[in-house]
Amino acid sequence: MSAPGQPQSKVALTLIEAGLTVAGVIAAITPLLLWASWSKFVFYLVLSAGCGAFLVFIGLAHVRGLLLGDRLPGNDVLGLKGVRQRMADWDRLQEADPVVQRKQREIKGDAGREFGFMMRVTTGLIVAVAVVFLAVYAGFEFTYG
């Protein structure tokens, strides 16, 4: 197998990802097409195409993993041990780094300011809509009332 940096691998990876995209779109629109099918034949045709898209998606994802060299140890089902270890390392890094703590405080302050701004804009829009509706209502009452 060739390394992922070689041109053949890049072309193959691009084709696989294009296939994953097409299969994913087909699988995503299958329920809508099933709902809109007008006969049993069309229903079963769409159902088989959707199931085939799911199988193609799973197969291409497996081939992509083989191409990129994504391998899990035999005793680590779904890579959960590695994920847990990375989460623990990340938490330890975040707790120990003063730069990260300062950024977190800044983000919390920014979130408070942004929330206040959104509330002011929302209140302004509600008042503007109420004024417009009140003006239209008064116009109708004056004209037809």
Confidence of residue 110 (pLDDT cuts 50, 70, 90): confident
Choice between 131 and 106, residue whose per-residue pLDDT is larger: 131
Render pLDDT for 132-145 as a digit per residue (tens, 0 to 9): 999 999 999 999 87
The stretch 52-68 carries a mean pLDDT of: 87
pLDDT at 77: 57
d(CA 12, CA 127): 57
Residue with tokens 């209502």: 137
Distance CA 93, CA 103 (A): 14
Band of residue 3 on the pLDDT scale cut at 50, 70, 90: low
